[in-house]
Amino acid sequence: MRDYYVSALVVFALAGLSDGLDGFIARYFNQRTVLGAYLDPIADKLLIISAYVSLAVIKIIPPWIAVIVTTRDVIILLGIAVFSITGISIEIKPSLVSKCTTVAQLGTVVFILFNPTVSDASLIKYCIYWLTAGLSIVSGFHYIYKGMNILQNISPNNQKI
């Protein structure tokens, strides 16, 4: 069974590294595109959602953490879709809290895949879950707040979210 976790960790790490490399190459060679600005965060969200849902389904993580993480990411994706459908042009720029949230979410998956048999009663596991959940909730509300501000101050110019 341990081999499956190692394989999952390798696939997850490769997906994360390829995403990071893609972003680095785009910035380094100034090859950023509007399409890439939309697709990159969507790919990030799908990677995280699939990891959390998969780990919850096989009962490696509690469902509540998967629900919190998934809900935050779905809210962000829906917000992007609403802006796109309504023709409101936004620049997708992650905030510091969002970056910290992503690090916590990815770190939680890596920790779990490295240590799948750590007891659910483990203090470190408990702290990691709550840190990730807390950051996900704060970040989700932060994006809702920013989105509502954009909607209240609609102008034809680009908005940063």
| Cα 17 from Cα 27, distance rounded (Å) | 15
For residue 105, which amino acid is it? Answer: Q
For the entire predicted model, the pTM comes to 0.83
How many angstroms separate the CA atoms of 51 and 116, rounded?
Answer: 14
How many other C-beta atoms are found inside a 10 Å radius of the C-beta of residue 90?
A: 18
For 50, the domain range is 2-160
**Count of domains for the chain:** 1
The predicted pLDDT at position 161 comes to 55
* Residue 159 pLDDT class (50, 70, 90 cuts): low
More confident residue, 133 or 23: 133
Beta strands 90-91; 159-160: pairing state:
parallel
Find tokens 């829906």 and name the residue.
78
- Tens of pLDDT, residue by residue over 30-50, are 887 877 777 887 888 899 999
Q: How many CB atoms lie within 10 A of CB 105?
A: 26
pLDDT digits (tens, 9 = 90+) for 65-124: 999 999 999 998 898 888 888 888 887 778 899 989 999 999 999 999 988 777 766 889
